[in-house]
Amino acid sequence: MTKQEEIEQLKKERDAVILAHYYTRPEVQAIADYIGDSYYLSEKASSLTAKTIVFCGVSFMGESAKLLNPDRTVLMPDESADCPMAHMVTRETVEAARKKYPGLVVVCYINSTAEIKSWSDVCVTSANAVRIVKKLPGRHVLFIPDRNLARHVASEVPDKIFHYNDGYCPVHEEMSAAEIRKLKEEHRDAQVLVHPECGEEVLALADYTGSTTGIIQYAKNSAAGEFIIGTESGVLYALRQARPDAAFYFPQTEPVCENMKKITLEKIAGVLRTGNNELPRMEDQVSEAAGETLKKMLALA
């Protein structure tokens, strides 16, 4: 029996579905029931009826699925697959800002721990951040943890006063603007599609800035035949399916999220077989408040 066949059989036995983010390995995306960006996956997780969700993504993604579905079993193929940015803000930063700016709204990127979500008023993803921030009351916004997405949203919502935190995604922040410029010189007709977690210099070179789904949809609907992609290289799997006729170029220093790549078919079969790495049910004030910020996001998006 192949690993894929074994996974199919185990899924039936456990009444399980597999959710995978676009940054996971191609073979993982190939066996997933649903593939998407953070917003799609959290929305999908809250509308599923299967008993078990195998979440092929980093910790905050599985944790969000569990917060929205406390009664369902959520299995993480690799418990150590974590997003460093999800920890990059302190409670002191949030409390100091709340004291300084009365009426402040604290907006947290879904790339954050449940604890960070619990200090916040509303959660967003890169796919809905602009739309949701436009709907918020008050003028002052503290956007945590990502300073790059914060700057992008601020540029799209000029009537709000943004306050920043120093978090960032190492994979996107380290993307080199010089390497993108070189690709632009080599492929003069190519469109540049980037994720808003990239630094300012890279965003300035973009024809389109958006979430992973946004990038894939843009390429799908574009008349262009060549694209320079400024996000994690796992999106290539979906890009090739969306536009088999197009050419895609990534920066020479390949953007790879090592944490997403920890998830393998072997580990998926392992958790389905054993039931190991089940996320615990959280029943405290932190999880209740964190769940509320996620539900608010789903309602506003």
DSSP class of 145: S
Dist. CA 243–CA 240, nearest whole Å? 5
> Residue 235's closest CA among 182, 193, 198?
193
Query: What is the residue type of 108?
Result: C
Both tokens of 271, joined, read: 């958790």
Under the criterion CB under 6 A, does residue 85 sit at the interface with ligand SF4?
Answer: yes
If the CB atoms of residues 124 and 257 are measured against ligand SF4, the closer one turns out to be 257
Under the criterion CB under 6 A, does residue 70 sit at the interface with ligand SF4?
Answer: no
Both tokens of 157, joined, read: 């919502």
If the CB atoms of residues 27 and 173 are measured against ligand 13P, the closer one turns out to be 173
With a CB cutoff of 8 Å and minimum separation 6, the contacts of 136 are 105, 107, 121, 122, 160
Residues 9-48, mask of contacts with ligand SF4 (x by CB under 6 A)? --------------x-------------------------
Under the criterion CB under 6 A, does residue 259 sit at the interface with ligand SF4?
Answer: yes
User: Of ligand SF4, ligand 13P, none, which one does residue 126 interact with (CB within 5 to 8 Å by kind)?
Assistant: ligand 13P
Which of 68, 132, 133, 169: binder of ligand SF4 (CB under 6 A)?
A: 169
**Nearest distance from residue 208's CB to ligand 13P, in Å?**
13
Dist. CA 57–CA 54, nearest whole Å? 9
Under the criterion CB under 6 A, does residue 232 sit at the interface with ligand SF4?
Answer: yes
CA distances from 20 to 30, 38, 76, 181, 291 (A): 9, 10, 11, 31, 21
CA distances from 220 to 135, 138, 239, 263 (A): 29, 37, 8, 27
- Do residues 141 and 105 touch, judged by C-beta distance below 8 A? yes
Give the range of 77-85, 124-132, 203-211, 273-281 binding ligand SF4 by CB under 6 A.
77-85
Which of 6, 8, 84, 292: binder of ligand SF4 (CB under 6 A)?
A: 84
Dist. CA 289–CA 295, nearest whole Å? 10
Query: Tokens 């536009």 correspond to what residue?
Result: 243
Both tokens of 62, joined, read: 């599985």
If the CB atoms of residues 127 and 271 are measured against ligand 13P, the closer one turns out to be 127
User: Of ligand SF4, ligand 13P, none, which one does residue 38 interact with (CB within 5 to 8 Å by kind)?
Assistant: ligand 13P
Query: Tokens 């694209």 correspond to what residue?
Result: 227
User: Of ligand SF4, ligand 13P, none, which one does residue 63 interact with (CB within 5 to 8 Å by kind)?
Assistant: none
Under the criterion CB under 6 A, does residue 83 sit at the interface with ligand SF4?
Answer: yes
Residue count at the site for ligand SF4 (CB under 6 A)?
A: 15
Under the criterion CB under 6 A, does residue 171 sit at the interface with ligand SF4?
Answer: yes
- Residue numbers at the binding site for ligand 13P (CB under 6 A): 37-39, 111, 125-127, 169, 195, 197, 211-212
* Chain positions contacting ligand SF4, by CB under 6 A: 23, 58, 83-85, 111, 169-172, 197, 232, 257, 259-260
